[in-house]
Amino acid sequence: QKEVEQNSGPLSVPEGAIASLNCTYSDRGSQSFFWYRQYSGKSPELIMFIYSNGDKEDGRFTAQLNKASQYVSLLIRDSQPSDSATYLCAVLNAGNNRKLIWGLGTSLAVNP
């Protein structure tokens, strides 16, 4: 069974620090990788997607992909209390059945 795993947390970081969120996946043929942020009681919102090995930066967010290790991460620089949320990792599985496989999410708390 194709899986996406995340540490449930909570991950607690002080304001201004770098938060590092990790995700591993089992399907070696996975093609695209997504990070969503979900505030309590709200729907998930897309932060970033990445499909090539290496880093992709967008403002304070950097996604890192290592297909050989089947590992994708999200770094949040200069963490703010408003970054406190659950971060969901999703992976597009390979083949004709092109569906997103979701992790359970990591809860992040940024402490002022």
Distance CA 3, CA 43 (A): 22
Beta pairing, strands 106-111 & 11-14: parallel
User: Within positions 33 to 52, which residues make up the interface with another protein, using CB under 8 A?
Assistant: 34, 41-46, 49, 51
What does DSSP assign to residue 18? P
Q: What angle do CA 1, 98, 41 make, to 5 degrees?
A: 80
Binding mask 77-96 for another protein (x = CB under 8 A): -----------x-x-x----
C-beta closer to another protein: residue 42 or 77: 42
Residues near another protein, by CB under 8 A = 32, 34, 41-46, 49, 51, 88, 90, 92, 98-100, 102-105
